[in-house]
Amino acid sequence: MLLLTITLPFYPQLDTGDDHQAAVGPWSSLGYRKYNTQMLPLFCVPIQGIFWIRMGIGLTLPVVDLSFLQYLPYLLFCNMPAFHTTAGMTGKDQTTDMTVDRASLTCLGRSSALSAHGKQDNDGPTGDQPGYKAEFHDFLILYTCIPPEDTANYGISPSFRYLCGWMTMETVRNKTVAFHTLGCKLNYSETSTLSRMLENEGFDKRPFDEQADVYVINTCSVTDNADKECRHLVRRIQRRSPESLVVITGCYAQLKPEAIAAIPGVDLVLGAAEKFNIARHLKELSKGDSARICSCDIEAVTGFTPTFSLNDRTRTFLKVQDGCDYNCSFCTIPMARGKSRSDTIARTVQNVRQLAAGSDVKEIVLTGVNLGDFGKGPQGESKAEDFFGLMKELDTIDGIERFRISSIEPNLLSPEMIEWVAGSRKFMPHFHIPLQSGSDRILGLMRRRYKRDLYASRVQQIRQVMPHCAIGVDVIVGFPGETEDLFKETFDFLHELDISYLHVFTYSERDNTKALEIRPTIPMEVRHQRNKILRNLSWQKMQYFTHRHEGQTRKVLLEGHVTTPMMEGYTDNYIKVTTPYRQEWVNQVIDWTL
């Protein structure tokens, strides 16, 4: 038997019919599609003497006919036959047609008056993974995921098996991807959607601290620490896996794309308009090229992409609104996310129904940049819809037990909305309401759209109709112009206010914001000291709120972490519960005595 090895200098491609191609080669940056990867072309000719051809992907195939060598020039300088598939892929309901481009076969120098059509459906003995076969007089092409022992069921002769060999799912390793999220619940929602997009393209998801082919960092830029952490993460990836691709997206990527592209190890920077096109960009990306920036001016960012987290946490974060028109003097979010725009009520309801039907989600947290501004179209245009209308529609949906509002501005939280939540079946007694400062002077410098009296009136009304309701507050310390007296105003206001907890942020200077023009600036050590004072106040508030409910029985949604012996959950009014792990309690709403 003559043994000969030939390395072919080309790689075939699959055209999936939906503008996605999977290149079969070591440089391919796009992961292989879960279904279409099982259909890679094998090239064979009739038997006269046996030899081997080693494909460029490292697969060695038994092939025959030494006369095949006369066609080597065609292989070197002509394209492989074009194989076209049209796939409607919805889970296991897949029907795919395969046709062969006759003209391409002719260029290889052989007659192509051949049979050349195959069809796949889900009726074969292997259930949801039947295979393809197409036979030619001079060429044999096999698309298969059929185990050899099942070939008789498909009418495939043993000789055909022997001539063409077999390609299984283990032959080609899917690309792997790992994600890390910085910042808010909205970012977690978007990261989860990006992950599902790439998994649908054939990527296998990996934990961020493991080896992966691609690392995606979804950034925040609310605080200076988020910028620094992004750089730290890129350095970690470089030490662990210098050959991996590094993609940066999110708010920081939109605000400072050039600065990010200059970080050693970064390969791709995706701005606000391009983050959800990540699969297409990865297809065109190679390690070793200079960092590519795909971004545009924020004024050009339009459209709305609904996103949701799934399988990452027990609760699901559903984005229903994006962008902001408020332009507070300290904030970069309008520059990072663009104008306020949102989904429609009808499509949001449809998304929630799909989540209810297709998952075991018990609680949905509605998220957005300025959630109360829901109702503006994808171009930022006003519509006859509002957030209150969305809440009332969601309250009627079966299959989801709990909804939460992630955060809502006090001027957009109407008295009617508060009254309605008090009697709602599904919206939890929990409001997170940004304050930022308890001083009217500082609120003016911040360009906020309310004064402290309005804020106090909203808290008072909540307490009147829902004494058990959790009320969270955002506050910024160390803002320019915040003297000791003005900080004391904030402290005293919060101390007297019947709230449950605080989220305290230390002011940090952000480029291109109006706050940079305000004087005097506050020394950093003073900012940190004020932060500590308010965090201590927050702890006292939460302790008082929790003790006030001791002995009560409330509904708790528990979530488990298999890496720890404990599990935790939250009551309807956002009191945290920790208990020893019990599998039967995971993702269950149970009665709990505090």
pLDDT digits 0-9 by tens, 355-384: 999 888 999 999 999 999 999 988 878 877
In whole angstroms, give the CA distance from residue 269 to residue 288. 15
Which pLDDT does position 84 carry in this prediction?
30
Confidence tier at 339 by pLDDT (50, 70, 90): very high
Q: Is residue 219 over pLDDT 80?
A: yes
Mean pLDDT to the nearest integer, 125-139: 31
Distance of CA 72 to the CA centre of its chain: 46
Per the CB < 8 A criterion, the answer to whether 340 and 324 are in contact is yes
- 520 cis-preceded (ω within 30 degrees of 0): yes
C-alpha distance from residue 495 to each of 224, 456, 529, 535 (Å) = 28, 12, 17, 12
Residue type, 534: L
Q: What pLDDT was estimated at residue 542?
A: 97
pLDDT of 98 higher than 90: no
What angle (nearest 5°) sits at the alpha carbon of residue 561, between those of residues 556 and 565?
Answer: 95
Kindly report the pTM of this predicted structure.
0.71
Average pLDDT over all residues of the chain: 75
65 sits in the region (left: phi over 0; alpha: psi -120 to 50; else beta) called left
pLDDT tens profile 382-400: 877 999 999 999 999 999 9
* Of 108-112, 230-234, 523-527, 550-554, the least confident: 108-112
The pLDDT of residue 324 is above 80: yes
93: DSSP letter: B
Q: What is the per-residue pLDDT across 422-445, written as a single tens digit (0 to 9) for each?
A: 999 899 999 999 999 999 999 999
Percent pLDDT > 70 in the chain is 69
Q: How many C-beta atoms lie closer than 10 Å to residue 196's C-beta?
A: 16
CA angle (101 as vertex; 99, 104 as ends), nearest 5: 155
Separation of alpha carbons 96 and 18, rounded Å = 13
Residue 295: predicted pLDDT:
83
Q: Is the pLDDT confidence value at 5 over 60?
A: no
User: How far is 183 from 337, CA to CA, in rounded Å?
Assistant: 14
pLDDT tens for 7-46 read 333 333 333 333 333 333 322 333 333 323 333 333 333 3
* The dihedral sign for the CA sequence 142, 148, 154, 160: positive
Alpha carbon distance 304, 107 (integer Å): 47
Residue 339's closest CA among 351, 329, 327, 348?
327
| C-alpha span between 234 and 432 (Å, rounded) | 33
CB 360 within 8 A of CB 313: no
Span 49-92, pLDDT tens digits: 333 333 444 444 444 444 445 544 544 444 333 333 322 222 33
pLDDT digits (tens, 9 = 90+) for 263-274: 889 999 999 889
